[in-house]
């Protein structure tokens, strides 16, 4: 397949929330208490919510900056591309990168919305619903052909969480962001019946549970003074624990149509993981009493789990051992793993080196995403307009030059510094 003929849908990108996001959706009685973006005297921006101050509001939003600045976490909106927080500019950046569709994870509330858990359940729910309404109606609604809508959970209340899934599914949302380890955040684990209302809502509405790496604030098990390279190396492999937790859990056996995405988890590790779970089942199920209904765990994995990759040559090589129907592509814009705006070139090189046939390319680059998330951009845009080449032609003149934007001191140079920021962003104080 020619690079310009590919159609790309990314199932893992990120939003840096704009300061006016609460204006149209939070009930008036709560507006004075809403999180607010504060521009500080030193030029940095921080989200402030009650007594919580969240640093690095643009955590790792380094798209378009030189690699020398990747370790300088942007500390203000003036240090990042407008496409990080302005939906019109985001679409221009997507066009320039040849990307048709994008599913965007939240930033300052944490991937699972833990920040919004207060002592007042009504206020907490209002915050989640206002965020979801802004995301669905304003961010995704501005360009329905370009964004797969995703909503935050009510993670502190399983009943309310299930109800929120149903509320959003009624308007076409089939994606929920969640924690990869709720027990690490102080909530019941995936093995607890507490989450039954959520599982039932997900299954009833064909909504995918997206467990993103780092969503619990537990990024890696390493020494506090370890260099950042340790955390960066382990990042995609941290999802292995969530995959094992969920694969061996009761809901996967109880609900045959339950769908789970291992977001930003990569794919190269999966063939060994599947080999290991099958051997574990073969050797130990007689005394652990696991029962997959006559199937192997690897078969059940392929029925329930979606994986994603940026380039991942090993995963592409072993794609048939993973399951081509279980793989989606991601861009990770605007984070440092993203190859924006050159992602199509990098991806095409990997696909060509592995002689991937066109039908499998189409599955991994856009068809699987459409099927898993019940999302069809072609009700709004033609396939001819959706290709890498067509989108880039539409973006002619849009500035994608690499620019040095850092104006502040270097931060987050070791694991302890980065972990502290991650805990603020997830609301995990443990």
Residues across the chain: 430
Residue 39: beta bridge partners? 45
Predicted model pTM: 0.94
Phi, psi of 299 (to 5 degrees): -65, -40
What's the mean pLDDT in 402-410? Answer: 76
pLDDT of the residue at 388: 98
pLDDT-wise least confident of 27-41, 224-238, 253-267, 348-362? 224-238
pLDDT of the residue at 404: 86
pLDDT digits (tens, 9 = 90+) for 132-164: 999 999 999 999 999 999 999 999 999 999 999
pLDDT of the residue at 425: 47
Q: Is 318 left (phi over 0), alpha (psi -120 to 50) or beta?
A: alpha
Please state, in angstroms and as integers, the Cα–Cα distance from residue 303 to each residue in 188, 253, 292, 324, following that order: 25, 11, 12, 12
pLDDT of the residue at 232: 81
What's the mean pLDDT in 237-259? Answer: 94
pLDDT digits (tens, 9 = 90+) for 20-73: 999 999 999 999 999 999 999 988 999 999 999 988 788 889 999 888 888 657
What's the mean pLDDT in 183-190? Answer: 94
pLDDT of the residue at 215: 83
More confident residue, 408 or 426: 408
Q: Is the pLDDT of residue 74 over 80?
A: yes
pLDDT-wise least confident of 156-170, 190-204, 211-225, 379-393? 211-225
Residue 178: beta bridge partners? 211
Number of domains in the chain: 1
Query: At 144, which CATH number?
Result: 3.20.20.140
Residue 335 gets which letter from DSSP?
Answer: S
Instruction: Tell me the DSSP string of 218-275.
Output: ----S-TT-BHHHHHHHGGGGHHHHHHHHHTSHHHHH-TT--EEEET--STTHHHHHH
pLDDT digits (tens, 9 = 90+) for 106-118: 999 999 999 999 9
Residue 14: beta bridge partners? 105
pLDDT digits (tens, 9 = 90+) for 271-316: 999 999 999 999 999 999 999 999 999 999 999 999 999 999 999 9
Q: Is the pLDDT of residue 420 over 60?
A: no
Q: Is the pLDDT of residue 358 over 60?
A: yes
Q: Is the pLDDT of residue 415 over 50?
A: no
Going by pLDDT thresholds of 50, 70 and 90, the confidence category of residue 429 is very low
Could you tell me if 246 and 291 are in contact, meaning their C-beta atoms sit under 8 angstroms apart? no
Could you tell me if 100 and 8 are in contact, meaning their C-beta atoms sit under 8 angstroms apart? yes
More confident residue, 234 or 132: 132
Whole-angstrom distance, CA of residue 131 vs CA of residue 180: 21
Q: Is the pLDDT of residue 410 over 60?
A: no
Please state, in angstroms and as integers, the Cα–Cα distance from residue 293 to each residue in 171, 253, 258, 286, 296, following that order: 35, 8, 16, 14, 9
For residue 364, the enclosing domain spans 3-426
pLDDT of the residue at 69: 82
pLDDT of the residue at 17: 97
Q: What is the mean pLDDT of the chain?
A: 92
What's the mean pLDDT in 412-417? Answer: 51
């Amino acid at each position: 397949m020619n690079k310009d003929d590919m159609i790309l849908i990314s199932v893992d990108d990120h939003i840096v929330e704009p300061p006016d996001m609460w204006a149209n959706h939070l009930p008036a009685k709560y507006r004075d208490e809403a999180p607010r973006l504060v521009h500080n005297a030193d030029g940095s921006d921080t989200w402030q919510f009650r007594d919580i101050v969240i640093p690095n509001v643009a955590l790792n939003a380094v798209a378009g900056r030189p690699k020398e600045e990747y370790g300088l976490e942007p500390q203000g909106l003036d240090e990042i591309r407008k496409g990080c927080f302005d939906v019109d500019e985001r679409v221009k950046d997507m066009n320039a990168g040849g990307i048709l569709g994008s599913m965007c994870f939240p930033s300052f509330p944490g991937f699972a919305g833990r920040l919004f858990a207060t002592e007042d359940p009504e206020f907490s729910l209002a915050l989640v619903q206002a965020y979801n309404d802004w995301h669905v109606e304003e961010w995704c609604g501005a360009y329905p052909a370009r964004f797969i809508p995703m909503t935050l959970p009510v993670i502190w209340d399983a009943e309310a969480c299930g109800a929120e899934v149903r509320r959003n599914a009624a308007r076409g949302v089939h994606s929920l962001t969640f924690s990869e380890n709720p027990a690490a955040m102080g909530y019941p684990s995936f093995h607890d019946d507490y989450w039954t209302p959520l599982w039932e809502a997900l299954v009833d509405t064909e909504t995918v549970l997206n467990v993103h790496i780092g969503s619990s604030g537990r990024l890696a098990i390493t020494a506090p003074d370890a260099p950042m390279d340790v955390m960066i190396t382990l990042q995609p492999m941290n999802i292995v624990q969530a995959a094992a937790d969920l694969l061996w859990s009761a809901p996967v056996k109880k609900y045959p149509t339950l769908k789970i995405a291992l977001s930003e988890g990569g794919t190269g590790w999966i063939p060994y993981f599947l080999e290991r779970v099958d051997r574990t089942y073969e050797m130990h199920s007689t005394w652990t009493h696991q029962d997959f209904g006559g199937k192997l765990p690897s078969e059940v994995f392929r029925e329930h789990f979606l994986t994603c990759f940026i380039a991942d040559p090993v995963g592409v090589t072993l794609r048939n051992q993973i399951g081509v129907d279980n793989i989606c592509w991601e861009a990770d814009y605007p984070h440092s793993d993203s190859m924006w705006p050159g992602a199509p070139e990098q991806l095409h090189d990997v696909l060509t080196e592995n002689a991937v046939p066109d039908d499998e390319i189409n599955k991994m680059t856009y068809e699987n995403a459409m099927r898993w998330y019940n999302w069809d951009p072609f009700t709004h845009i033609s396939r001819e307009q959706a290709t890498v080449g067509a989108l880039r032609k539409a973006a002619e003149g849009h500035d994608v030059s690499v620019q040095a934007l850092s104006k502040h001191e270097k931060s987050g140079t070791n694991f302890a510094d980065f972990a502290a920021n991650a805990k603020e962003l997830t609301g995990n104080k443990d």
